[in-house]
Structure 1
Amino acid sequence: MKKFSYLFIALFSLSLMTTSCREQKSTGDKIEDAVDDTGDAIEDAADDVEDAVD
């Protein structure tokens, strides 16, 4: 019985150490990030075109 208790405690401790606590992004957050990235890419392209024209 004592070995079983130690095994249970060890497995429980291992599960606590391997569980991730990071925050998950919602779908809205992912869409917002994609829109921001696209806007930044468009601005960069516009700057490149402006530099090429000059």
Structure 2
Amino acid sequence: MPFAAVMAAVSLTVAACDDGPAEQVGEKVDEAVDDAGDAMEEAGEEVEKKAN
């Protein structure tokens, strides 16, 4: 999960920029981090189900 934390910090830094291409990139990074976190959570739930 450290990778997700780093990406979140980067996305917050980029998202703090004014409107423009940098903000759009920041939003895409935010979405990617959210998607990655969701995928990790789902994978963890699947592992839990199979372990029980």
What is the TM-score normalised by the length of structure 2? 0.56
Task: Please tell me the residue identity of whatever aligns with 2:34.
Answer: D
Larger radius of gyration: 1
**Higher RCO (C-alpha 8 Å, min separation 6):** 2
Pairwise CA RMSD: 0.6
* Partner residue of 1:35 out of 10, 29, 47: 29
Aligned counterparts of 2:26 and 2:47: Cα–Cα separation in 1: 32
For structure 1, the residue ranges without an aligned partner over 5 or more in a row are 1-24
Identify, as 1 or 2, the structure richer in helix.
2
> Structure 1 vs Structure 2: percent identity of aligned residues?
20
Pair 1:52-2:39 in alignment: no
- Post-superposition Cα deviations, 1:21-54, rounded to whole Å, max 9, x if no partner, equal xxxx300000000000000000000000000000
Q: TM-score, normalised by structure 1?
A: 0.54
